[in-house]
Structure 1
Amino acid sequence: MLSAALLRAGWRVSIYSDRTAEDYLADRGRPTACLFGDQVEYEAELGLDFWPEASRMRRIHLDLFTDGGAVALSIDAPLRKAALAVDQRLKFSFGLTELESRGATVVIGAVSAEDLDRLAATHDLVVVTSGHKSLTGLFERDPTRCVHSEPQRRLFMINIHGYDMAARPQHREGVFSFLPGTVEMFWIPFHDKDVGESRSIVVETAPGGRADRFGDVTSADEGLDVLKAVVDDLLPHESAFLRPARPTSPVTWIKGEILPVVRKPVAVLPSGRHVLGLGDAVVLNDPLAGQGANNATRMARFFADELAGHDGPFTPSWLTGRFDQWWEHGRYTNDFSNGLLAPLTGAQKNVMIAASRREDIAEQLWEGFNDPSSLFPWFFDAAATREFLARRKIGQLDLLRYKLGVGAGLLAGKLFKRPVGGTATP
């Protein structure tokens, strides 16, 4: 998107890629990369929306499960603006071809740190947007903006089709299934390169917990079998929907773990020249909040405007200053992502319970995926939460009534039982 925006502004742009457009189409599956409202609109504004047939996600349905597999509460509300998840293999392939047709110079081949030095000598600015292993260590970790020293979840993703929509009509839109302290599962409407309409399932498991079973998976079929077993054991409400499903292809699955990190945005090369980092190269979040592609898009939009409006050299101090300016808003994405990795606080449990009864509160909650700053301070500060609920005429007696209503549908004590690992379940 940065290249498209700078081309639109009249810049000469060269794109260096280690793969051709055809290589991207033949690649393994990539992360789901669901874009939410404002980012979908920006992509369209740049003329990069090539898939009008792709299903938009206009609602999210969340089920919060107990240890025994019962649904403690459900939250269902519309998104203020539609979200969209399109196979990144399609996006990268079509995007590379389209940008070349608009005048970008496309150079195919691996880029090393030594190559960056050469490119920095012949260009006004070099921007690194990939965290490729050949460039590991290029951008220094910023300890003042990092929270974690090790991965917080183990991840598995697979794209499926052939599911039983009649068994769970909620899956016509986005579905989130949470068993706090054990697993978070996201079922996202997805436009797959090979089959079109499908679902991308992102699974985040607590290390060593009851859902942490994907470590030995070696194929899509094997991964789906493990997923079905996890769902049967922990989230049985979803079993009928998933049972007939098949992988969209043998390569559309991923497993691993991510260490969230923020790096300094400017790297100084051995020659003394410098390059700017954007996207995953400098800000890498856990996928739990679905912010990877959204954060990169927001960053590209901000820097495209700043770069196009700047009259002068792109010095390290100027670039760092622009990143610091972006961080004033961008930090909310990090705080949102890191906040969801922590156990729910008492105030957040109250919001979830209220959202299960009030669609307007649920809608405000979902807006955080589009604009994380909209969740602050009211979702992450207990006093602000009380004020937020009070302004919506929800007091302690209302919350008590809501909790009693939830408890009436569960066995005594099930709702507040501590799951394996010791974190509290709302």
Structure 2
Amino acid sequence: MRSVAVVGAGQAGIVLSAALLRAGWRVTLHSDRTAQEYLDSGGRPTACLFGDQVEYEAELGLERWPEAPRPGRIRLDVHTDDGRAAFTVDAPLRKPALAVDQRLKFAHGLRELARRGAAVVTGSVDADDLDALAARHDLVVVTVGSRAFPELFPRDDARSVHTTAQRALFMVNVRGYDLAAHPRYRDILFTFVPGTAEVFWIPFWDKDAGESRAVTVEAVPGGRADRFGGVTSAAEGLAVLREVVADLLPGHLDFLAPVTPTSPVTWLKGSVVPVVRRPVAVLPSGRHVLGLGDAVVLNDPIAGQGANNATRMARFFADRLAGYDGTAEQLRSWFDEFWETGRRTNDFSNGLLAPLRPFQRDVLLAAAHHPSIGEELWEGFNDPPTVFPWFFDEAAAREFLARRRVRRWDLARYRLDVASRLWAGRVFRRPAPA
């Protein structure tokens, strides 16, 4: 029986361990926290999984929250700088999504893997420990980010686009809203003010509150929504969120008015520098380790690809490791194979960070009138290669729309309709109270 040491009990580590256990490997999972310590920890990123990844977790027996909300649609509201909704894309997902508190997921994963026979070892692992693990196992896989091993996996400049964070991030989980009064929040809601901020309202299963909503703000640094830097608590963050919404998205204030944080710790702020790292590290002894998940591919969360990509990577390598010949060269070759399509996850995330281009606006306008186009667009969150090249290349976008019988005069009519409604809204808007 071949043996593997997996360092890190996050999304990639738990999924890979479950898959390799099923394939007959002897698995040792190294976690810096016990299951109870995960449950007692602070808030973690929202980590909404989309269709194929939800199904793979269920196939591995890792999904145990039948009561959690499973949104089946995404609604995107594109707003103007003065807070008015320009247009809406409301379309179904091909398969339901699922966002479960990672504290619950990782605690359950540790206990379930131990029950199935994995050796779960609690404690920190440093660079020196990796050599000892590599000497005792057929393979060592590192799934924790670069903070744990900052020099282990060097940046791959050819595959990395950014050197600085593109968004300032804030997230808070809330409860106390009334879905009957605000039905548009039943499924996933995106509210974009292009060039300023993106706000995501995600149905969420919280450790303490059960069904709730995770609200994430992606603010352009230095812009009107970049106000969360001084926040020190969930209550402060929610107050700033209301201020931002009042300024940029006033139509959402009624939803936020009664809500409270699900707990004092279910909030986050910070930023992410997207990066791709070299996937195989050679240790001082000459032995090697493989990196997966955030250890080697880290994206801004704007496209919700962190946990999804970690799951795809774990699945890809688990499916191939039966043929592992023990060499670093084979692992690099497999990563290159993964990258042939996996790079589209990065392209998708980086593309959404960039300013909206006119032809992309036309695709969104077409989707606002044809839900089938919106459905194809939303499939990109589940399977990013499906939106290439047509959402990121102008000629391909024109061909895509033409095949769906969206003509140039249709687009002209859609643009005119938006302009007319915005003009009417400006002219006939009620005066502000004295």
TM-score w.r.t. length of structure 1 = 0.95
Alignment of 1:306-325 (within 5 A): 306-308=320-322, 310=323, 312-313=325-326, 315-325=327-337
Q: Which residue of 1 aligns with 2:415?
A: 403
Q: 1:331 to 1:95 in 2, by over 3 A?
A: same
Report whether the alignment pairs 1:116 with 2:130.
yes
* Structure 1 contact 55–84 (Cα < 8 Å) conserved: yes
Aligned to 1:138: 152
Aligned residues between the structures: 412
Contact in 1 for aligned 2:50/2:96 (Cα 8 Å): yes
- Residues 63-212 of structure 1 mapped to structure 2, 5 A cutoff: 63-131=77-145, 133-212=147-226
**Structure 2: distance between partners of 1:307 and 1:158:** 39
Q: Is the 8 A contact 1:164 1:240 kept in 2?
A: no
Aligned CA RMSD, in angstroms, stands at 1.1
- Per-residue CA deviation, residues 154-212 of structure 1 (Å, 9 max, x unaligned), is 00011000123234211011100000000000000000000100001111000000000
Q: Tell me which of 384, 388, 406 is aligned to 2:396.
A: 384
* Secondary structure, aligned partner of 1:67: coil
Where does structure 2 lack aligned partners over 5 or more consecutive residues?
Answer: 1-14, 427-434
2:58 pairs, out of 44, 47, 62, with: 44
2:71 equivalent to 1:57: yes
SS of the residue 1:410 aligns to:
helix
Tell me the distance in 2 between the aligned counterparts of 1:399 and 1:19.
54
For residues 149 and 350 of structure 1, what CA distance do their matches in structure 2 show? Answer: 30
Residue ranges of structure 1 left out of the alignment (5+ in a row) = 415-426
Find the residue that maps to 2:419 and give its secondary structure: helix
Whether the 8 Å CA contact 1:117–1:273 is kept in 2: the answer is: yes
Q: Does residue 256 of the first structure (1) align with residue 276 of the second (2)?
A: no
Q: 1:375 maps to what in 2?
A: 387
**What residue number does 2:237 align with?**
223
Partner of 1:249, secondary structure, is: coil
- 2:365 equivalent to 1:353: yes
Question: Following the alignment from structure 2 to structure 1, what is the Cα–Cα distance between the partners of residues 109 and 239?
Answer: 34
Q: Deviations over 1:239-298 (max 9, x none)?
A: 111111100000000000000000000011111111000000000000000000000000
SS in 1 for 2:75: strand
Partner of 2:429: none
Q: Deviations over 1:89-144 (max 9, x none)?
A: 00000000000000000111000000011101110000000115231121010000
Provide the C-alpha distance between the structure 1 equivalents of 2:373 and 2:259, rounded to a whole number of angstroms: 33
The equivalent of 2:12 in structure 1 is none
Distance 2:250 2:325 in 1: 60
Distance in 2, matches of 1:359 and 1:237, equals 23
Paired letter, 1:114:
D
Counterpart mapping for 1:212-361 below 5 A: 212-308=226-322, 310=323, 312-313=325-326, 315-361=327-373
Instruction: Among all aligned residue pairs of Structure 1 and Structure 2, give the percentage whose two residues are the same amino acid.
Output: 67
Instruction: Provide TM-score, normalisation by structure 2.
Output: 0.94
Cα distance in 2 for residues equivalent to 1:160 and 1:193: 12
Q: Report runs of 4+ in structure 1 exceeding 4 Å deviation.
A: none
Deviation of residue 28 (structure 1)? 0.5
Q: Secondary structure at the match of 1:141?
A: coil
Contact 1:62 1:176 in 2 (8 A): yes
**Distance across 1 between alignment mates of 2:301 and 2:182:** 25
Structure-2 separation of matches of 1:127 and 1:339: 30
Q: What is the deviation of 1:411?
A: 2.2
SS of 1:54's equivalent? Answer: coil
